[in-house]
Amino acid sequence: MIVPRHYKEMPQRYKLQGNRCKACGKVFLPPRLVCPCGSQDLEDYNLSWRGKILTFTIIRTPPVQFKYQKPYAVAVVELDGGGTIQCQVTDTPLEEVEIGKEVEIVFRKIFSEGEAGIHCYGYKCRVV
């Protein structure tokens, strides 16, 4: 049963709601309690929905929930205004997925829990 976890993570998955260190300015998603700089003074911060591909990999043997989407790319995206996220690349042919490419973050169904469970929505990115 993934309902409690999905429910708890909605602010991050739905709204890119993370936090930012007031001391060094580093941005986190998921939010952290302590910054690597040692500060515990962090504030809520909504990350940008635009960014660039920092790096990526192609998944050819995916977990069972994603098996009909193969092959697909998973990218680390550096967002405008700070913070990095890891997400699936959607709506983009694999040959267009390249480091440095500009992407927009989109709200998508990440997976469904079996035939009768909940649909879990969250963020992905697509090349602009």
Q: Which residues bind other proteins (CB under 8 A)?
A: 10, 14-15, 64-65, 67-69, 88, 90-91, 93, 106-110, 114-115, 119, 121, 124, 126
Q: Where are the beta strands (DSSP E) in 60-128?
A: 72-79, 84-89, 102-112, 119-127
Tell me how far apart the alpha carbons of residues 94 and 112 are, in angstroms, rounded to a whole number. Answer: 23
State the residue for tokens 């963020």.
Answer: 123
The nearest distance, CB 113 to other proteins, in angstroms, is: 10
The nearest distance, CB 34 to other proteins, in angstroms, is: 27
Which of residues 26 and 66 has its CB atom nearest to other proteins in the complex?
66
Which of residues 55 and 65 has its CB atom nearest to other proteins in the complex?
65
Q: Exposure pattern of 15-34 as b/e (b: 16+ CB <10 Å)?
A: ebbbbbbeeeebbbbebeee
Which of residues 21 and 105 has its CB atom nearest to other proteins in the complex?
105
